[in-house]
Structure 1
Amino acid sequence: MPRYEYRCRSCGDTFELSRPMAESAAPATCPAGHEDSVKLLSTVAVAGTASAPTPTQGAGGGCCGGGCCG
């Protein structure tokens, strides 16, 4: 289940909740009991290596449907 981060507008506390995606925008009560909270935009960092296929000359495709745009 995804975790979402929220900030309480009353006390300024930031907290996380695990809930289904369909409920991510639903009101969330902070640990202090305040009900006025806002969902924060989360950033995700993905680390690792990936390699893209190397284009080959004359294989078709390209920006002009297979032709050279240069």
Structure 2
Amino acid sequence: MPRYEFRCRTCDDTFEVSRPMAESSAPADCPAGHADTVKLLSAVAVGGTSSAPAPAM
């Protein structure tokens, strides 16, 4: 299940919430109970290897 990062505007805490992609834009209360939160943009980490040579510069 994907994890989404939120920041509380009241206490400035950053926290993560696991939820289905269909609920990705739903609001989330911070762990301290504040409702004024904003969803943060997160970078996608992609790992792996490739057997193809790197492009020449």
TM-score band by shorter chain is 0.7 to 0.9
Greater relative contact order: 1 or 2 (C-alpha under 8 angstroms, separation 6 or more)? 2
Query: Counterparts of 1:1-70 in structure 2 under 5 Å?
Result: 1-52=1-52
- SS at the partner of 1:30? coil
State the Cα deviation string for residues 33-60 of structure 1 (Å, max 9, x = none): 00010110010222332245xxxxxxxx
Tell me which protein shows more strand as a share of its residues: 2
Q: Runs in 1 of length 4+ with deviation above 6 angstroms? A: none
Q: Cα RMSD over matched residues? A: 1.2
TM-score calculated relative to the size of structure 2:
0.80
Deviation of 1:2 after TM superposition, in Å, equals 0.6
Rg bigger for which structure?
A: 1
TM score, norm. by length of structure 1: 0.67
Gaps (5+ residues) in structure 2? Answer: 53-57
- Percent pairwise identity: 79
